[in-house]
Each structure stands twice: as structure tokens, then as C-alpha cells.
Amino acid sequence: MRIAPKYSFQRPDNTTQYAQNELVANDATAALVLPMRFSVEAVFGRGRIDRVRLFTDNQNVTTATFNLHIFSADPGVPGAGDNGTYSVGSVRNWVGTVACDMATASEVTSTDKAKGFAITGGRGFDTKMGAGGTAARWALLETATAATYTPAALELFEACLEFEG
């Protein structure tokens, strides 16, 4: 069975340029950042993340490359809010990182951009391994590489994890 849970968030109302390794999130205050949460209850046990899709309503993301960090439990409050240096308190529940290069070969319209990223070998998981048996996966988005990224104010991001269960 194939499922594809999505999570959307809107970043703050500014166009402050990101540098390498900065958090892209819903709030500039670390304590108010909500990690993306993907429900995997429909998998009923074990499965495999084999693809990630990333969408933004900013079609001008020409230099945008991101890392989507996936966790088996809520990673907690990050070390900084949106546009701050990416860090988490612990990587104990880290599942893996997917490099998302939105700068090349993306599907683009006059208003938005999307791209899918296959994960070689997939990322296996057991839904009973989440915090307290929660059947979910969490993620945080980080800017990658030395290329800087200038966002749109109130830019919408949507990530989708594709699972084979």
C-alpha cells in the first residue's frame, strides 16, 4: 500500500536572505517552531520512505537547495527559529536527510514550484518506534550548500513523504 502524507507551513512575513545551514520554519522564535509532522498510521507496522516531494509557492527559487531532516520522534525545540542556524538538541531519533535541489529540473508554473526526490534504498521504519508508540515521522527543513536563498514573504512550503507500507 502506498501513502503520501503532507505537511504545509508558511514562513514569516519577511524576505531576509538565508545563508547555508539555516532553518526554514514557520516562526522566527525557536520555541514557536512547529516541526513538520507526517502521519503514518495507515502503514500498520513497517514501511519504507522511498520518495520526498517539496513544493513552494515561490517560483523564483533558482538557487534553492534544501535538506529535509527526518526524525522518528518529535525533535523538540530547535536551537533557533526561522533564518537561524539549524540545530537540534539530539539526533537520537534522526532517520536520515534528503537533499532537495529545487534549483534544477523542477516543475514550475508562473506562481509555484515543485520537485520529487527519490531515496535510493529508501528509509525503513517501524511505526511502533516513534515516541510513545506514535505512528508519525517529523521533519525540519534547512538551507543547504553555499548558495544563499532569498524567500518570498509568507512563502508556503509543503513537504510530502511517500511511503511504501
Question: What does the pLDDT average to over 151-156?
Answer: 94
Question: Residue 87: what pLDDT?
Answer: 96
- Are 142 and 69 in contact by the 8 Å Cβ rule? The answer is yes
pLDDT score recorded for residue 16: 94
Can you read off the three cell numbers belonging to residue 69? 531532516
pTM: 0.89
Residue whose C-alpha is closest to residue 113's, from 60, 36, 44: 60
**Rounded CA gap, 161 and 40, in Å?**
10
For 55-108, the pLDDT digits (tens) are: 999 887 667 889 999 998 899 999 999 999 999 998 888 888 999 998 877 888
Q: Which domain holds residue 24?
A: 2-164
Structural domain total, the chain: 1
Q: What is the pLDDT of residues 112-147, one digit of tens each?
A: 888 999 886 555 555 554 445 567 889 999 998 766
User: Is there a contact between 111 and 57 (Cβ–Cβ < 8 Å)?
Assistant: yes
pLDDT in tens, 16-60: 999 999 999 999 999 999 999 998 765 556 667 888 999 999 887
Within 10 A of 4 (CB to CB), how many other CB atoms are there? 12
